[in-house]
Amino acid sequence: MDSFALLLFPELRRLSRGERAQALRRAHVVPFDPLELLGIAAALIVTALFVRHGLEGWLGAGWARLLAAIAVGALTTGPFLIRRTRRGLRMALANTPARNA
């Protein structure tokens, strides 16, 4: 998990292992900006349209369609959630001195 978080959020490399979880919690408190909110709304609309019309002939109703909706929703909204977290980390780390991991 730690290496995946470092891949998504390279800003965490400035902190020791023990401080990374706390920094991520502080970053998640940052509110979404208008671009992120619009992007998430558009991503959810695209997901709904894709699952409703794009997969209509491929998947029947039920669990397969639900799993496809979850996967497509995560792929389309994820970049906006990552963007907000990275922005929050930059704000939280603006005055934090650099340390070795």
* pLDDT reported for residue 4: 87
In this structure, are residues 19 and 30 in contact, taking their beta carbons and an 8 Å threshold? no
Domain ranges of the chain: 2-92
Residues 6+ apart with CB under 8 A from 56: none
* pLDDT reported for residue 14: 87
pLDDT digits 0-9 by tens, 12-24: 888 888 888 888 9
pTM (2 decimals)? 0.79
Low-confidence spans in the chain with pLDDT less than 50: 100-101
